[in-house]
A and B are shown apart, each in its own frame.
Chain A
Amino acid sequence: MVYRLVAWTVALAAAAVTIAIARAEPSDALAGDSALALVAEVAAGLLLVATAVASRARTGFRVLLAASGIAWLSGEWNSPGAGAAFTAGLVLYAAWPPLLAHAALLYGDRRLRRSDVALLAVAYADSLLVLGAGSALFLDPRPQGCFDCPANRLLVSAEPELVAELGRAGLYVAAAWSATFAALALVRLTTATPARRRVDLPVLLPAAAAVALFGARALHGGERGFLSNDPTDRALWAAQLAALALVAAGVAWERLRARRMRDQLAELVVELGRSSPTGGLRDQLARTFGDPSLEVLHARDDDAGWVDGDGRPARLPRDVHREVTRVLAGGRELSAVVHRPGLLEDPAVAAELADAARLALEHERLGAIRRAQLESLRASRGRIVATADAERRSLERDLHDGAQQRLATLAVAIRLARRQLASEDPQLDGELAAAEQGLRDALAELRELAHGLIPAVLAHEGLKPAVEALADRSPRLVVGDVTAERFDAPVESAAYFFVAESLRRCGDGDVAVSARREDGRLLVRLEAAAGIAGSTIDLEDRVGAVGGTLTATAHAVRAELPCES
């Protein structure tokens, strides 16, 4: 707040001084007697100050940009009509280019490199000490022909030759560092990542142009030893003015862009608060940040890796063409945004991601993790059921191949013994006949036992024959339209046990069963006129283990089993 007040006060005062000076001696002013040129000159300086004040960039950049704008206004002060401002004009007239270059190098939260510091040191020294204060110490304007000029209050000793030498050297150095800075800016722009360039270009390019034009003016006045207002000077000055206006526009545009992004993210947060679209955050961020390949991943609580917005397991890419930005909270990785390299070098994007999208990320992460946990629970339940089924099948096989075969063999052996003994010992034959009958009954019982474990016909022939076999054992089961299609073993098992277990809970009377495939699901339905009693929790477990659902009414139960093949 204080900064703004100070900046505006100084800027407005400087603008007033500039206008007064230019109006007092139009022939000595760069703006000449054109009111339009003067308005443009003042406007360019004030625009720089205004955008600097309104910008959300770091303080260093904003102060330098505002200072550059104010220094620009002092460009008219080293003229005869300047009055009290004359001395300040002598010192400051060349200050704006290094200030602007400095601001431009800091733009986009950049840090100065060692080469930047060296360049800026040369620029500041040249503009403020050689061309500015240094010359002012030895310049007495009146003996040099400017009889109307106000007194130079910094004058130590009038040394016209030294002033001319300092002016020539200072201007050539100014031309040199300006060209260097412009070249440096161009290299930075061409080697930057696309995201970085998008941020830098609107400010760095016009700033480089403004500084280069200053260099051109310095070169033009080099031989003369001072900057003047001849036609070439004026043309270059007018171009500078336009470039400065563009710098201001670039800074303002960045501010608008950041605000638009913030608005979009704010909308997203509101949207997420209303409904909860899975994966919607990814689409929104991809749109907002202009990276269609962007992915959003979330860390699972149990350090069990990453999941996507839908809770499906995912991996962080190890690909040089992808960059991963991790979102931390309390030192823990919560989410990761996978994007093209350099996207988050754009400080506005990174800041928005950390601020506005944080809530949305956290919201989606919780949902994704919940879905992942549900899925792993379901998978584990499925494995338990599958293991149990495998055990049942193995038991069933053992009964058939072991016990039943033995009993059948024994029955044959007893019959052979009976043939040999029958005529000799009728009583023994009778006992053996009873034993044989007992073996036959045992075989029938073993068969039912094995069938109860898991019917072999289910695995061999499928759901329809298995349900028909169930109807043979429970005659009240009426088999309606049951599809003869085959399904995966877990689906067939779940459907069969659903029918068998539901049947046990039906009251007396007929029970109708039907099963059909529809839209990638197997729909199995039981209808009992006498009603269905008892809890359905174990049925739900069995059906849920393969990802199915169960609905029950007083007279019917229905299972839906996913069976995508």
Chain B
Amino acid sequence: MRVLIADDEALLRDGLARLLEDAGFEVVGRCGDADALLRMVDARRPEVAVVDIRMPPNNTDDGLLAAQEIRRRHPRIGVLVLSHHLEAHYAMRLLEEVPERAGYLLKERVSDVAVLADALRRIGEGECVVDPTIVSRLVARKRARGPLDELTDREREVLALIAEGLSNAAIGERMYLSPKTVEAHISQIFMKLDLRPGADQHRRVLAVLAYLRAS
């Protein structure tokens, strides 16, 4: 799988490249700022770009802005944003326009190559991935009102796992449920969130989006 790495810290960039290469990824480019990232994506067409949220020139959310630009220019290229920020709002900004092929993980996952590799593969397959820490905090939050009020606790748990990027089978394992029960929960969730039947993968993404929006 062809990936591109953008981070302004050279040592981290190189270390991450070696970790991913060891895990079987092909690193087609490395760069340290948002402009170079956009140029390199145009030229080398990776399958997924791994982007640090804080990069020159402004060192605020340049990485996120560049990621949004990549989504607009190349809808088939996935983006995984690594961020210092726990706020769901940033993830929302990334996923809002085009929810497929996008991921938002906290920066401390950077050395956990298993998590990274899993996220990159899911993104490559068209899913969206949100950091479990962010998702679990969303589950804990009290809400004034919203579409998620319709969901039972069990359904909300399932939705959270979908948001983390788990497959039906993995959700079944995690919750000790049969695949049939998991599917029943998921179709209940789709119905309550008013997601009409269509491509199943797409509906999963939309459900996650609804989940993030409600936060």
Is B a genuine binding partner of A?
yes
Are A408 and B12 in touch, CB under 8 angstroms?
yes
Are B88 and A408 in touch, CB under 8 angstroms?
no
Are B111 and A412 in touch, CB under 8 angstroms?
yes
Are B110 and A412 in touch, CB under 8 angstroms?
yes
Are B108 and A444 in touch, CB under 8 angstroms?
yes
Q: Mark B10-22, 1 if CB is under 8 A from A, else 0.
A: 0110011011001
Q: Mark A405-446, 1 if CB is under 8 A from B, else 0.
A: 100110111111001000000000000000010011001100
Q: A409: which B residues are within 8 A, CB to CB?
A: 9, 11-12, 15
A411, A465, A510: the one within 8 Å of B110 (CB): A411
Q: A404: which B residues are within 8 A, CB to CB?
A: 84, 107
The reply on B140 being an interface residue by CB < 8 A is yes
Q: Nearest CB to that of B9 among chain A residues?
A: A405
Q: Nearest CB to that of A464 among chain B residues?
A: B89
Looking at the complex, which of B141-149, B153-161, B162-170, B186-194 is the stretch in contact with chain A?
B141-149
Q: How far is the CA of A480 from the CA of B143 in the complex (A)?
A: 8
Are A510 and B54 in touch, CB under 8 angstroms?
no
Are A443 and B144 in touch, CB under 8 angstroms?
no
Given contacts A478-B143, A512-B144, contact A469 B89 (CB under 8 A): yes
Given contacts A404-B84, A405-B9, A465-B87, contact A476 B142 (CB under 8 A): yes
Q: Nearest CB to that of A407 among chain B residues?
A: B108
Are B111 and A415 in touch, CB under 8 angstroms?
yes
The distance from the CB of B180 to the nearest CB of chain A, in whole angstroms, is 33
The distance from the CB of A432 to the nearest CB of chain B, in whole angstroms, is 11
Given contacts A447-B84, A480-B144, contact A408 B108 (CB under 8 A): yes
Within 8 A of B (CB), among A466-523: 466, 468-469, 471-473, 475-481, 510, 512
Q: B44: which A residues are within 8 A, CB to CB?
A: none
B22, B85, B107, B141: the one within 8 Å of A471 (CB): B141
Are A478 and B111 in touch, CB under 8 angstroms?
no
Q: B106: which A residues are within 8 A, CB to CB?
A: 444, 447
Are A400 and B84 in touch, CB under 8 angstroms?
yes
Are B144 and A457 in touch, CB under 8 angstroms?
no
Are A451 and B86 in touch, CB under 8 angstroms?
yes
The distance from the CB of A463 to the nearest CB of chain B, in whole angstroms, is 11
Within 8 A of B (CB), among A375-404: 397, 400-401, 404
Q: A481: which B residues are within 8 A, CB to CB?
A: 144
The reply on A154 being an interface residue by CB < 8 A is no
Given contacts A440-B108, A468-B215, contact A412 B142 (CB under 8 A): no
Given contacts A409-B9, A412-B19, A472-B86, contact A477 B111 (CB under 8 A): no
The reply on A332 being an interface residue by CB < 8 A is no
The distance from the CB of B64 to the nearest CB of chain A, in whole angstroms, is 9
Are B142 and A510 in touch, CB under 8 angstroms?
yes
The distance from the CB of A289 to the nearest CB of chain B, in whole angstroms, is 59
Q: How far is the CA of A473 from the CA of B88 in the complex (A)?
A: 12
The reply on B113 being an interface residue by CB < 8 A is yes
Given contacts A413-B11, A440-B108, contact A475 B19 (CB under 8 A): no
Q: How far is the CA of A447 from the CA of B8 in the complex (A)?
A: 19
Q: B59: which A residues are within 8 A, CB to CB?
A: 397, 401
The reply on B178 being an interface residue by CB < 8 A is no
The reply on A148 being an interface residue by CB < 8 A is no
Q: How far is the CA of A544 from the CA of B13 in the complex (A)?
A: 46
Given contacts A416-B19, A479-B144, A512-B144, contact A468 B89 (CB under 8 A): yes
A interface list, Cβ under 8 A from B? 397, 400-401, 404-405, 408-409, 411-416, 419, 436, 439-440, 443-444, 447, 450-451, 455-457, 459-461, 465-466, 468-469, 471-473, 475-481, 510, 512
Q: 9 A–B contact pairs at CB < 8 A?
A: A404-B107, A412-B12, A415-B113, A436-B111, A447-B84, A475-B137, A477-B142, A478-B144, A479-B143
